[in-house]
Each structure stands twice: as structure tokens, then as C-alpha cells.
A and B are shown apart, each in its own frame.
Chain A
Amino acid sequence: MGLEQLLPAIAGMTWQDLVMIGVGLVLIYLAIAKNYEPTLLLPMGFGAILVNIPLSSALTQIDPATGQAVEGVLNVFFDAGIATEIFPLLIFVAIGAMIDFSPLFRNPSLLLFGAAAQLGIFMTMMFASLLGYDLREAASIGIIGAADGPTSIVVASRFAPALLGPISVAAYSYMALVPIIQPPVIRLLTSRKERLIRMSSGSGKKISKKALILFPIAVTIVAGIIAPSSLALIGFLMFGNLVRECGVLNKLSLSAQNELASLVTLLLGITIASTMTADRFIRLDTLFVIALGLFAFVFDTFGGVIFAKFMNLFRKEDNKLNPMIGACGISAFPMSARVIHQMGQKEDPYNYLLMPAISANVGGQIGSVVAGGIILTLVPLFA
């Protein structure tokens, strides 16, 4: 009996499989040692190992004896949870239950940064199309700039399933790397004088419960009227928020924030890994996607900061915005707000930017979902 019969996995192992197992180990290392998005990167890393061992029963295999396909559990999860968009949409319910919109009511004008900081999505989409990607693939790569994992997964699974693995890895990795990516870009675009600008926190203002309950309902109706195809994304986010704010579903709200978020994230991570097989991942495309993802995050930051500087042109001297706040218009919450607050304190220990930064960051959470909905609406019209 030869090695092939005795240990078919070793006999069938290629260098590409070994590289992917290495990628899986790196993701696990980043999750555990560096605490980079561990809830996603750890299952994805483990899943990458799971699917790159030849003949893994986690993936659908052809039984040599019968010639029939034996379904693998990860393929079943993929078909049931990602191809149908159920997993990312359930994550939106959980995220909605976690979001407190009251900072937006205190500083509503900062909502606009949630729009400006989506610039990276569209710049990247254009750049990807210049590199030869078709419109659907370019849009899927661009959506990494939403800095919002579930939105990236929904768009990529619909428009470019072959790129889902690298897009998810890039989206979640760069979200974890916001403290490294944003500060140099912000310093490049702002002067010290601008970084020292103080802003009012508006934290003393109390918000009516009725307004907070009506907000998710009204947003859903408005979004549905303007762009019905964005409704699944925005609707599930707002449904989660309504469960949080209604005051009569506290147990469900806590379950959504904790158990639902944990379970679905776990399944989402390991299921995405089913697309991280060597034949789909070890390609030049993957490197391009990773590089373009970084480009998207840089241009998001650029868009937000430049828009803040633009708004300052029309504001009085004693009411200027700190342009760093613009960078919080991305969806990475609350990491981006924390980064900006720390940058502000580095320049002036008595400058407290956390509250306005959080307001802009909450705006970014809405903006990224809106951007996803708009991409889902527009791309099929032009592709």
C-alpha cells in the first residue's frame, strides 16, 4: 500500500495548499496576538486551514467509489447563509441593536461626513475598472471602502462571488488597521493649527425617546421610497435599532447584540473561509484586491477630511470643525472615533473630540449601508 492510499491528504498536498494554510495561521495569529478583529479573523483563519487540506470533508467532494457529490458542511452553510445573504443581514440586525443614534441627534450636521467618507468606494471602483476589472467586480472591490464587513459581503456575494474571500479578508483586516492607516493620511492633509480646533460635544442635550423610536421607522420608509433595492440592508439595520429603542424588547435587544451577533459572526467567518481555497485565493487578483482595499481606506479618509475643510470655508471663525472629524465618516465604529480623539489629545491634552467623532462615526455606519444600497441599485443598470 503506497502513501497515496494510506495518507491521501499528504499525497495530494500542493505548495499552494501549504501557502493557504500559512495564510490561515497568520490570520489566527493576528486575531489572537494582535487582537485584530478576532471574532472574524479567527474563524476565517481556521476555516482557511480546514478547506485547504486535500479531500477535506468540510467541502463538497466527489466520492470516487460512487462518483456522486458528498456535500461539505461549509458549502451547505455558504449556499444557505451567504448566497441567500441571510448571514450578513442577520449581522445587520445585531449591529442595528448596538447603534445608539442619539449622538447624531446632538450633532446632526456631522451626518454628512458619513457621505463624504464613502469617496474611497467610488475612487477604488474607478481605479479597479482602469485595471481591467468588469463593472461588477470593480464595484465589489470598491465596496471594501465602506469599511463595513457585512455590506462588503452582500455586494461581493451578489456581484463577484469569486472575489468574496479576498474582499472579506481585506475589508476586515483594514478595519482592524484603521489606527495605522488613518493617522498618517490625516496628518498629511491637515495643519497643526487645524488639528488643535476644539469642538462642542453637545453631550448635555437630551433626546426624546419618541424621536429615537420614530427615526429607524422613518429612515426605512424614506430609503424604501428613494431606493427600494437598498431596503434589505437599511431595513434590517433599522429593525435592529427599533428593537433596541422601543423599550419593550429589552431581552431581544440584548440577545441581538450578544448571542445573535456572536453566533452569526462565527458562522459568517468560517463560511467565508470556504471561498479561501488555494485555487481561488492564490492569484494575482488577490494581491490587487488587497492593494485596492488599502487605496479605498486612504481615499475614504481623504474624502472626509477634505469635506470638513470645505465646510469650514462657510463657517464662522469660532465655529470651525476640526477637519480630523471628517475621517470618522467611515463605518469602522468606534475605532475611527477613538483614533481621532487620541490624535486630538496628542496635539492638545485638553481637546475632547470624542463626542463629535462618535457622531460622525455613527453617520458613517448609516453612510456605508446607504452606499452599499446605491451600488446594488446602480451597477445592474450600467453593467
Chain B
Amino acid sequence: MTPTVEKALLIAGIGMAGIFVFMAVFYLLILALDRFLPYQEEKPAEELSEDSVSEEEE
């Protein structure tokens, strides 16, 4: 085995492990974002404007 092949083998090992580490971190990031920022139904714009009008009237 030539030194270049040995180095390529080493890069392959570190590289594949590195990609999995990156993806695992991104996976955890998605889980965290999904947990702490869950989807919430937004108030329709019309309702908002009615609220603001009624507040002004008061």
C-alpha cells in the first residue's frame, strides 16, 4: 500500500465519520428547533385588524 493510498484511507475514515457527526448535530438541531419553536396557528390578518380597531375605540 502506497503512502498516498494510506492517506486516502485515513481521509475516508475521518471524512465519513465527520459527515455523520455533522448530520447528527443538524439532526439534533432540527429536533431542538421543532421542540422549542413548535408550529402555532397564526391569527388571520382580518382578526388582528378588528382587534386593533376595537382597542382604538375603547
Contacts and interface: CB of A to CB of B under 8 A. Distances in A.
A111 B30 contact: yes
A379 B16 CA distance: 14
Interface residues of A, number: 49
B16 A122 contact: yes
Interface string B14-52: 111011111111110111011001111000000000000
Interface string A85-111: 000000000000000000011001101
A66 B2 CA distance: 49
Contacts, number: 118
Interface stretch (A170-178, A213-221, A331-339): A213-221
Given A125-B12, A138-B8, A206-B39, 15 more contacts: A115-B20, A115-B22, A122-B12, A126-B5, A129-B5, A130-B5, A135-B4, A139-B11, A205-B39, A211-B33, A215-B33, A367-B23, A371-B15, A374-B22, A378-B15
Nearest to A381: B11
Interface of A: 104-105, 108-109, 111-112, 114-116, 118-119, 121-123, 125-126, 128-130, 133-135, 138-139, 205-208, 210-211, 214-215, 218-219, 222-223, 226-227, 363, 366-367, 370-371, 374-375, 378-379, 382-383
A370 B22 contact: yes
A125 B19 contact: no
A130 B3 CA distance: 10
A374 B38 contact: no
B26 A111 contact: yes
Nearest to B30: A108
Contact of A382 (B11, B25, B27): B11
B17 to A, nearest CB: 9
B37 A208 contact: yes
